[in-house]
Structure 1
Amino acid sequence: MGTLVAGANAALTGENPGLTSVLVGLGWDVIPSRGPASELVPLTLLCGADGRVLSDAHLVFFNQIASPEASVTFQGDDDTEQIDVDLSRVPDAVSKIVFAVYADPEMRGPGTFAAVRSAYIRVARPDGRELVRFDLPAANRDTITAMMFGELYRHRTDWKFRALGQGYTTGLRGLAADFGFDL
């Protein structure tokens, strides 16, 4: 399927019959500095048809590494972060799974994506063979404190991937407000 641009989507299960699980890899480089560096934290949100997280239990991150039914789990580290998604176990109430990253202000002070380079999200088969990739465009990210990299979403009976690259200047608070979860 290849490399996507922001806003583009790709059919995953429609073009790959029998595909029941995928590996989602997130990656980035941070330019080293002598001052405090941003601590980037991946966050996966399982959302209903209204675009809101089903419950706080449907947030997958470092303190909660699996969704309640274990359809979404943080796993390997061949990329900066890897998330396994068992599409066959995702509850019917989930219409999309959003993959975001935020700069944790509690780790090293308020951080941004200013020093982040080569950020990407990729979707691969469980064996690692890449199906689709989105390299986030280089941009001025001096005020960006959270970013949605991409999402898996249901389209009729199939699963698709959409490249997003949408930044937030309001960090985790902005994600919480948009997706309806508690901090």
Structure 2
Amino acid sequence: MAINLVKGQKIDLTKGRSSLKSVMVGLGWDPVSQKSGGFLGGLFGGGSSGAAIDCDASVLLLNENNKLSSKQQLIYFGNKSSNNGSVVHTGDNRTGAGDGDDEIINVNLKTVPSSVHKLLFVVNIYQAKQRKQDFGLIKNAFIRLVDNDTKQELVHYNLSDNYSGKTSLFLGELYRAGEEWKFSAIGEGTTDSDITSIANKYF
């Protein structure tokens, strides 16, 4: 059974799970319903309430100094795999419509380079300023971790704060603690307009 986390909570992911090799990190969100026409009617039914909200998930592979050592350590829709293939983004979902995970990042814990101490998971709204969109238009945001071998959900964190006015969300982080991997639920929003401005803070 998955452990449901609250904001700020941490969990030891690998302790007692020596067989855990690879995790699927699923990130999801739903647009709030707009005007009439049923759920999603305004945003996705061809209505007049504006463009679809395109949320993009990314992961920053940070070193022991909490920095990106190179641009290749940023995994997102424009750079879907780390150099050795230990972290792979499966692709961009441009609407968030439907149930389940909207974007998926697979992490092979056994082959993540030793120079990578933390994996920071971020979601931002594509062209948020141009489209005048923010996370007040999004609901049911979550991050969850699943054992890729057994398909067992290990951790689930639902973001429940009000993120109106925020254009990016720091959902959670996977980080090393000696020989173990831990996960921390963050749930912090910022006004960063794109993944480049987020990444620049870590160089």
Q: Does 1:21 align with 2:22?
A: yes
1:55-99 CA deviation, whole Å, 9 max, x = no partner? 100111111110111100023885101111001110000000011
Q: Does 1:157 align with 2:179?
A: yes
Aligned partner letter, 2:5: L
Match of 1:41 in 2: 56
Match of 1:130 in 2: 153
Identity %: 32
Find the residue that maps to 1:171 and give its secondary structure.
coil
Match of 2:45 in 1: none
CA RMSD of aligned residues (A): 2.0
Match of 1:62 in 2: 77
1:22-61 CA deviation, whole Å, 9 max, x = no partner? 1100000012432234321111110001111121001111
Runs of 4+ off more than 6 Å: none
TM-score by length of 2: 0.81
In structure 2, C-alpha distance between the alignment counterparts of 1:4 and 1:97, rounded to whole Å: 18
Find the residue that maps to 2:189 and give its secondary structure.
strand
- Out of 73, 84, 88, the residue aligned to residue 110 of structure 2 is 88
Number of residue-to-residue matches in the alignment: 179
Find the residue that maps to 2:154 and give its secondary structure.
strand
Match of 1:7 in 2: 8
* 5+ long unaligned stretches in structure 1: none
1:87-112 CA deviation, whole Å, 9 max, x = no partner? 11100000000110111117962421
User: Which is higher, the Rg of structure 1 or of structure 2?
Assistant: 2
* 5+ long unaligned stretches in structure 2: 33-39, 43-48, 94-99
Find the residue that maps to 2:134 and give its secondary structure.
coil
